[in-house]
Chain A
Amino acid sequence: MNTLDRSLCRTCRYVDSCSLTSNKSFIWSCSEYELAESPKENNQPLTLTKEFDLKTEERLVELI
């Protein structure tokens, strides 16, 4: 079975229509590779995330 479990193609936006190769199983390097979706729109600064509750967050951090 032609699985993409171990191939770059798995997350490539062109995987369904790519004309470069029909065997997309073991691709580990490709100049045409592009990530399927752009990252979620969130360019918040790293300081405090939305609805950051210092007390709760601190406790959670201690638990890690």
Chain B
Amino acid sequence: MTLVKELKVKKQPKQGMLENVLKQFNTAADLVNLNPNIKKILEVTNNELIIHFPVRMDNGNVEIFKGYRVQHNNALGPYKGGLRYHPTIDIDSVKALAMWMTWKTSLAGLPYGGAKGGIQMDPSKYSASELERITRRFTYALGENIGPEHDIPAPDVNTNAQTMAWIADTYMSTKAPSERSKNQHVVTGKPIGSGGLEGRDRATGYGVYLSIKFWAKNKKIELKNKTFIVQGFGNVGYWAAHFLELDGAKMVGVQDAFGSISNKKGISVEQLFEYTKANNGSIVNYPNSNAILKEDFFGVDCDICIPAALGNQITEENAPKIKAFLVAEGANGPTTVEAEKILLERGIEVIPDILCNSGGVIGSYFEWLQNRNGELWELEEILVKLEKKLKEVFKKVLQASESKGLDMRSAAYFIAIERIEKAYIQRGIFP
């Protein structure tokens, strides 16, 4: 094959994450009857940054890394979104995730836009000091493309509080000494000793619990003695179950990466959590439970189903088997379009991910505010603020859902996009 011919060979189409997000947006835009000029703005990203930067490895060699930061939209405030370190990230996936952040922050009523970024690499191949240098050099390379009032990264896949502390320290070090401390809120998700928020670990799970609580209250249903199953016993699943149990609800089924267990008499959330800590994180063989087949998990008899692990879990195959009257999406995209149709037809309500798991980004907003105002908030105060904020959002979604005859997901997208549209209409387009 000649060089010209080789160059002409088109690449295989990429995975449809961006296409899916755009499709979702188009459906929602039609629903809102979105102004066509504003639609043009929202279907593209504002800025896409690809940075190649060198870092010295422990053995003295230099490696070149590829970093991304995509800023989708900032009509409502500074860009906000995570940074992930993974070999599979590319510009398309980062664009899709940035767009998703715009809807999420808008729905949550936060003064933020949407962004996402990361570095294309496998962190398991690098030492801690190499990861530190990679993070710091990436931060330096990003320069003024991030900033506490411009674009605020947060932890995501393979990044954590330590990564955020390195970013904050590097960014602050590039400022004049007198300016340093007022730039601490350049990232959120920092360690508690370095400006991080108390209770940030439970913010998403607490938000899932609150969403269920608000929904139940609206339906005049008591959570006491209600049964629930949870898929994923990580940060989101565990904390959601923890708070539900405090309210008198009973966990009757759990599924994690290792297996599935159930007990219709109830499984103690705290005891299971302690068990997993001593059992390499696995729930398997927990004494007061029966092992069940993974295919049977969503069919476990319960009132509330909480998919809090990963996407595409409730499908057209298992949706008819679900016995719960409510599905609360703790994970991102756990219900397929076809499955949701089946659930709604069966009278099962779905609290959509964009609303149900927004406790995390609201927690980030609190951390940002705390740093910005030079304050230190206490855990109780934070949980109260989170409840107040989420209650407002939930109420809006419920109202839109009832007044417009929409399901909760469509209502949530409706509110998110309408809020951005309103900002553009009020401000106009420069010049």
A residues whose Cβ falls under 8 Å from a Cβ of B: 5-8, 10-11, 14, 17-21, 23, 26-46, 49-52, 57, 60, 64
Contacts of A29 in B (CB 8 A): 157, 310-311, 331-333
Q: A31 and B237 in contact (CB under 8 A), knowing A19-B259, A39-B123? A: yes
Q: How large is the interface on B (under 10, 10 to 19, 20 to 34, 35 or more residues)?
A: 35 or more
Contacts of A35 in B (CB 8 A): 123-124, 158
How near does chain B come to A25, taking the closest CB pair, in angstroms?
8
CA A52 to CA B308, docked complex, whole Å: 47
Q: A20 and B256 in contact (CB under 8 A), knowing A8-B86, A26-B15, A60-B62? A: yes
* Interface window among B3-11, B125-133, B185-193: B125-133
Contacts of B404 in A (CB 8 A): none
One of B88, B129, B281, B311 near A44 (C-beta < 8 A): B129
| Residue ID in chain B nearest A44 by CB atoms | B129
The 13 listed contacts between A and B (C-beta, < 8 Å) are A6-B14, A6-B93, A14-B258, A19-B294, A20-B231, A28-B17, A30-B310, A30-B331, A31-B235, A31-B236, A31-B309, A35-B123, A46-B133
CA A37 to CA B203, docked complex, whole Å: 27
CA A60 to CA B63, docked complex, whole Å: 12
Contacts of A41 in B (CB 8 A): 127-128
* Interface window among B30-38, B39-47, B52-60, B370-378: B52-60
Interface contact B256-A43, CB-CB below 8 Å = no
CB of B257 closer than 8 Å to a CB of A: yes
Interface contact A32-B309, CB-CB below 8 Å = yes
Contacts of B281 in A (CB 8 A): 34
One of B129, B259, B309 near A42 (C-beta < 8 A): B129
CA A27 to CA B232, docked complex, whole Å: 14
Contacts of A37 in B (CB 8 A): 124
Contacts of B260 in A (CB 8 A): 19
Interface contact B157-A33, CB-CB below 8 Å = yes
Interface contact A39-B126, CB-CB below 8 Å = yes
CA A60 to CA B235, docked complex, whole Å: 44
